[in-house]
């Protein structure tokens, strides 16, 4: 079982954020949202092809939206769980799941990336394609701490975010440098790989960084 004790309740309720995301999904069909991809993102498909994640493990996709990455991973044999703050996103993902019997190992759960509704070390790997860059700067380390709670030591985290180099409007509120992401994550995760990419069909051509991080098995060494 991956559901269980929720994460610690962190300062600053996400209620307003949840309402905003819910309103977005109520006002716009999920297929018309700028971040929606009908197929899995290339960073996810590549992760399986290059064996960055364990096909026999249980995978968590944070900010799963309408569930394309989860449905793909489940169709490839993984036990894949998607979580999103907006119940309407989870409803859309579940409806799509019902029409894809080959993805029978997929599950979808309403949940906050800062207060994940799962037990400790419940997942062997995880991913986040576009959720992290929506967080306010002061909550990024909370995200890393909470994610590290539910991912097993040694588990890989696939992360993709809007790059500082993306200057077009409209677009994500936060566009992060590699340094900003590493500063938020490195206490709990080691950075194994970072690539700068622009996918013509992803977020309508958004410039992104994609990373492979590994959940630390031992604490980060002190500076010297």
pLDDT of residue 191: 97
What is the β-pairing status of strands 123-129 and 189-198? unpaired
Burial of residue 220 (CB within 10 Å: 0-12, 13-18, 19+) is exposed
What structural domains does the chain harbor?
32-215 (3.40.50.150)
Tens of pLDDT, residue by residue over 177-222, are: 999 999 999 999 999 999 998 765 454 567 899 999 999 999 999 9
Residue 8 has pLDDT above 60, yes or no: no
The residues, ordered by sequence, that sit 6+ positions from 147 with a Cβ below 8 Å of its Cβ are 62, 113, 116, 126, 157, 188, 189
Give the integer Cα–Cα distance in Å for 205 and 132: 18
For the segment 110-125, the average pLDDT, to the nearest whole number, is 96
Q: Which residue has the higher pLDDT, 165 or 75?
A: 75
> What tokens were used for 148?
């590290």
pLDDT of residue 197: 84
The residues, ordered by sequence, that sit 6+ positions from 44 with a Cβ below 8 Å of its Cβ are 69, 72, 73, 127, 129, 158
Give the integer Cα–Cα distance in Å for 125 and 56: 10
Burial of residue 121 (CB within 10 Å: 0-12, 13-18, 19+) is middle
Tens of pLDDT, residue by residue over 15-33, are: 677 677 677 667 776 676 6
pTM: 0.87
pLDDT of residue 32: 64
CA-closest candidate to residue 185, choices 206, 162, 165, 156: 156
The dihedral through the CA atoms of 111, 114, 119, 121 has a sign that is: positive
Measured in residues, the chain has a length of 224
């Amino acid at each position: 079982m991956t559901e269980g004790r929720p994460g610690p309740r962190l300062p600053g309720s996400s209620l307003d954020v949840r309402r905003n995301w819910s309103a977005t999904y109520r006002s716009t069909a999920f297929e018309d949202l700028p971040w929606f991809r009908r197929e899995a993102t290339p960073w996810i498909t590549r992760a399986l092809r290059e064996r960055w994640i364990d096909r026999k493990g249980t995978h968590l996709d944070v900010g799963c939206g309408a569930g394309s990455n989860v449905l793909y991973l489940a169709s490839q044999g993984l036990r894949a769980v998607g979580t999103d703050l907006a119940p309407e996103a989870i409803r859309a993902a579940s409806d799509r799941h019902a029409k894809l019997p080959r993805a029978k190992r997929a599950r979808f759960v309403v949940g906050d990336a800062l207060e994940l509704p799962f037990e400790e070390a419940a997942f062997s790997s995880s991913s986040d394609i576009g959720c992290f860059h929506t967080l306010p700067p002061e909550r990024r380390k909370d995200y890393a701490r909470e994610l590290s709670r539910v991912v097993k030591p040694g588990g890989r985290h696939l992360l993709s975010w809007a790059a500082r180099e993306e200057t077009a409007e409209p677009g994500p509120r936060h566009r992060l440098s590699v340094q900003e992401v590493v500063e938020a994550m490195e206490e709990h995760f080691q950075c194994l790989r970072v690539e700068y990419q622009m996918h013509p069909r992803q977020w309508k051509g958004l410039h992104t960084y994609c990373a492979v991080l590994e959940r630390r098995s031992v604490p980060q060494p002190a500076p010297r």
